[in-house]
Structure 1
Amino acid sequence: MKERLGKAGNRRGWKIALAVAMTFGAAWNIAGAQTAPPAADYRIVGYVGDAKPLPHVSAQKLDVINYAFARVDAKGDVSFSSPTADQTLATFTGLRKINPNLKIIVSIGGWGADYFSDVALTAATREHMADSVAAFIEKYDVDGADLDWEYPTLPGPGISHRPEDKRNFSLLLETLRARLDKLGAAHQGRHYLLTIAAADGEFVSGIELERVSRSLDWINLMTYDFHNSLTPTTGHHAGLHLPDIAPSDDRAGDKAVAQFLAAGVPAKKLNLGAAFYGRAFAGVDPAHDGLQQKYAKYVGSPSWQELVASYIDKNGYVRHWDAKAQAPYLWNAKTRTFVTYEDPESLRAKAAFVKAKGLGGVMYWEQSLDRNEELLGVLDEALGKH
């Protein structure tokens, strides 16, 4: 994620290619903001990558900031590679002055992050990582940790992996949960959060879903990147449902939720994922305005800012709406370019789905890709937070 470091790939293989353009630059402006009311029933979790300057974050519009990323080494020590991490986390925790209910979580891992398998292998390294996590939680006064291991038992981009990952991931999370509970007991019974990011389909073959859910406060479902540079056709990269012309084994948000529910994960522990960026394909076969067609070249991942500025009903790109999938897409007949993305209409559909299924809320990647918090504002309104 982050570049969003590879959130899910296609069912035909374990690989994922994700190069989300990070266009940080908006200044923070928290002067004059009012204290937010208590959080609503549905949570909004936003990933925010480290950058200088940081994007603006309206603390009243979301419940959780997932700071991305920290990394773990082979010994189990968790550290921050960014030289501005201390300042960034201080800025995030400072937003509690505006919204006392805001939670700050440090996300560990991301696409390409190694050593999870090695650390999860023994009780000693699991405990060492748990102690390291507890130490940074105390140091920075954050509210918990989010693990983004992509993916247990799978090779990913050259990461260490082994069949034992399936059981060891459960043991790692149980060790972390016990350590965070011990830390909380030393801080007047404070509850520290433990969450994970997870993809659907074959990417959960290496996870004991029901067991790990017992250790977790919630799971951030990466219900995006269903179609990307390694899938053989175009398609909705964050579609809520399958379009009529999609094969039955294609991926969609509702199918991901059903898979996790069937495995015994409580609905309230699931956050449906939303993407503040698109996927663009060139040299696309023109049938169905480029939807579910073969393509010649994958050409990028425009942010919502870029989509509004240069793509949507501009420069030959015509917006279409797939009522079955509840997803928009763009087709440029002249250049034969297809763009899949999310917009306010699709996000309202996802929010309605969250309510209908009794899910925990929505997670999105990533704050800097929005334009003046337009998409975040839609989620905030649609989930009844303001």
Structure 2
Amino acid sequence: MATNADGSVNHAGIDTFADSAVAFIRTYGFNGVDIDYEYPTTMKDAGNPLDWSLANPRRAGLVEGYAVLMKTLREKLDRAGAADGRHYLLTVAAPSSGYLLRGMETFQVQKYLDYVNIMSYDLHGAWNEYVGPNASLFDDGKDAELAAANVYGSAQYGGIGYLNTDWAYHYFRGSMPAGRINIGLPYYTRGHKNVQGGTDGLWGRATASSCPAGSGLTKCGDGAVGIDNLWHDLDTEGKESPAGSNPMWHAKNLEKGVVGDYVTDYGFPAGTELTGTYARKYDSTLVAPWLWNAEKKVFLSTEDEQSVAAKADYVVDRGIGGTMVWELAGDYGWNDAKGQYEQGDTLTSLMYDTFRTATPYGAKKSGADLPAEAVNVDVRFTDFKLGDSNYPITPKLRITNNTQTTLPGGTEFQFDYATSAPGNASDQSGFGTEVISSDHTGDNVGGLRGDFHRVSLKLPAWQSLAPGATVDLSFNYYLPVSTPSNWTVTVSGTTYALAGDLARGTTVVEPGGTTPTDPGEPGDCTDPAWNASTAYGGGSVVSHGGRVWRAQWWTQGEEPGTTGEWGVWRDQG
């Protein structure tokens, strides 16, 4: 819908969808729109195999189409909100895998969002042979899938494992306040059978002799089946797809050796008996429980009170917005009369009780105070390579001087990027890029211990940047990060924030401290002149055409005086 067959943006389709979505929520009283797009990544064969024939030819344009979709939704929701006297939310379900995120540039759509709901589950499963937790909180340095790819053995990765919730949280924390991030929890299991090696199955292997019809795979894991796969899908031939997928209430019954009376509803005969015992195991480093049936060599990754309590505490301790669950029907409660677990609210109530007494979530993006004055210099990362070619990750960093003042050679820029990547960023263009401080060093066993690496780079001494001019440098890093943020630039000894970084409470000035004026009408207004390339947050005030205008919501490229009575710019006289 967002991307045409030739990879170009489908503007007509996006407008039709966005108009329909906004009309729907206004008609039925919803408070916003959530987009679950799986997945706008350039990584080949990502997402549902049945979509590959459609998605793969469009890979080069998926990221741009996604960005235009989210920008369009944000603008249309804000126009509707201005008319209705309320704010409509825009949120997304976002991937958590470092593999998928490597093909999503810097997830630059975050600037349009109220919240990101991280799908921090499905990190291991029967789509491959590597047996591990569905949704561990942390890395333990032993992930068999990452070890097979030599992630731990490659110095440039810094020993950082990227298939865990904590890594995914820090990826998004690099560009968003903690309070705008929700971590995901699964109320379902993933699992394998015929597991070989590992510790009680953990980090073992289970290779299938064939793959489900329609999976698009030629090699896959040996997923658990039968009574160990209650919530299974069907393949394209109508056969059970091996996955070890169960609601948590069924997993709790397996743990207790109970065959629930509901099994006949799932096609099992009355009198079904279990083979072997399902022993609960727990790894405190990973924060991950599982069931291990030694007789059947079955491994089922689970969640229970211990792991969910630890994740709830993790949310509170870091000021994270909250949690997102897939799906509530998997939660459990004990039916004493029947002697079995059934659908309930044990895990959900546990989180609620923890969150209701928590301190307010984190509303600041930067870990340090930023300057109160900002200058109109635009920075963006562009020209990413596609798919597997995007390693190391080497985009261009494009700096555009939208001020009326020449930036001299030696002008220093600083910014933060997430500790989801090691602190070894560099450039290949003579800008002297270096990491000058790090909140985390070393591997991430047991979790990343801070949020940001601080980077410094400088215009070469011989290269000034005139008003309106642009310069590119080749940037280099090794694991995915979301859009670097908390930018500053130092000009003639004074440090400024950047207007495009959308820092709250900043006043846009010219380098040197003067307030910029509209060059076409000097002196008419004291507010900064509108610039088509600058991103403005709600409440921003600009001058244009001899008038003063206030933005009602986020906008970029919409000219004041052309957006109409209900448009983004409101005439202040």
TM-score tier after normalising by the smaller chain length:
0.5 to 0.7
| Maintained 8 Å contact 1:330/1:339 | yes
Partner of 1:256: 168
Partner of 2:346: 374
1:244 and 1:162 map into 2 onto residues whose CA distance is: 32
Q: Deviations over 1:294-332 (max 9, x none)?
A: 014201211112112223566501111101111111111
Runs of 5+ consecutive residues of structure 1 not aligned to the other structure? 1-114
Partner of 1:37: none
Partner of 1:275: 186
Partner of 1:234: 131
Partner of 2:73: 176
Alignment of 1:55-204 (within 5 A): 115-118=1-4, 121-154=9-42, 155=45, 156=47, 157=49, 158=51, 159-160=54-55, 161-187=58-84, 189-200=85-96, 201-204=98-101
Q: Deviations over 1:47-93 (max 9, x none)?
A: xxxxxxxxxxxxxxxxxxxxxxxxxxxxxxxxxxxxxxxxxxxxxxx
Cα 1:259–1:330 shift into 2, 3 Å: same
Partner of 1:362: 323
1:152 and 1:385 map into 2 onto residues whose CA distance is: 37
Equivalent position SS for 2:76: helix
Runs of 5+ consecutive residues of structure 2 not aligned to the other structure? 153-160, 208-221, 225-243, 259-275, 333-343, 359-573
Q: Deviations over 1:176-212 (max 9, x none)?
A: 001001111121x211111011112121234354531
Deviation at 1:162, TM superposition (A): 2.8
Cα 1:176–1:384 shift into 2, 3 Å: same
Equivalent position SS for 2:70: helix
Deviation at 1:216, TM superposition (A): 0.5
2:198 and 2:114 map into 1 onto residues whose CA distance is: 44
Q: Deviations over 1:218-247 (max 9, x none)?
A: 111011111111132111110001235324
Partner of 1:36: none
Aligned pairs, number: 270
Cα 1:244–1:312 shift into 2, 3 Å: farther
1:385 and 1:173 map into 2 onto residues whose CA distance is: 34
2:183 maps to a residue whose letter is L
| Maintained 8 Å contact 1:312/1:319 | no
1:129 and 1:376 map into 2 onto residues whose CA distance is: 33
Cα 1:368–1:234 shift into 2, 3 Å: same
Structure scoring higher RCO (CA < 8 A, sep ≥ 6) equals 1
Relative to the length of structure 2, the TM-score reads 0.45
Name which of structure 1's ranges 343-352 and 249-258 shifts more when overlaid on structure 2: 249-258
| Maintained 8 Å contact 1:326/1:349 | yes
2:106 and 2:249 map into 1 onto residues whose CA distance is: 35
Cα 1:221–1:183 shift into 2, 3 Å: same
Higher helix share: 1
2:354 maps to a residue whose letter is A
Partner of 1:66: none
Deviation at 1:356, TM superposition (A): 2.1
2:326 and 2:63 map into 1 onto residues whose CA distance is: 26
1:342 maps to a residue whose letter is E
Partner of 2:203: 292
2:106 and 2:322 map into 1 onto residues whose CA distance is: 19
Partner of 1:303: 247
Structure having the higher Rg: 2
Deviation at 1:126, TM superposition (A): 1.9
Partner of 1:33: none
Equivalent position SS for 2:18: helix
Relative to the length of structure 1, the TM-score reads 0.65
Deviation at 1:145, TM superposition (A): 0.9
